[in-house]
Amino acid sequence: EPEVTQTPSHQVTQMGQEVILRCVPISNHLYFYWYRQILGQKVEFLVSFYNNEISEKSEIFDDQFSVERPDGSNFTLKIRSTKLEDSAMYFCASNGQGYNEQFFGPGTRLTVL
Partner 1 sequence: KNQVEQSPQSLIILEGKNCTLQCNYTVSPFSNLRWYKQDTGRGPVSLTIMTFSENTKSNGRYTATLDADTKQSSLHITASQLSDSASYICVVTPSGGSYIPTFGRGTSLIVHP
CB-based burial of residue 1 (10 Å sphere; 0-12 exposed, 13-18 middle, 19+ buried)?
A: exposed
Q: Which is nearer to partner 1, 43 or 113 (CB)?
A: 43
Cα distance between residue 80 and residue 78, in whole Å: 6
- Residues of the shown chain interacting with partner 1 in the complex, contacts defined by CB under 8 A: 4, 41-45, 48, 55-56, 58, 89, 91, 93, 99-107
We find the least distance from the C-beta atom of residue 67 to partner 1, in angstroms, to be 15
Cα distance between residue 59 and residue 93, in whole Å: 19
Phi first, then psi, for residue 47 (nearest 5°) are -160, 150
Q: Which is nearer to partner 1, 11 or 45 (CB)?
A: 45
We find the least distance from the C-beta atom of residue 85 to partner 1, in angstroms, to be 18
Cα distance between residue 81 and residue 87, in whole Å: 12
Q: Which is nearer to partner 1, 3 or 18 (CB)?
A: 3
We find the least distance from the C-beta atom of residue 16 to partner 1, in angstroms, to be 27
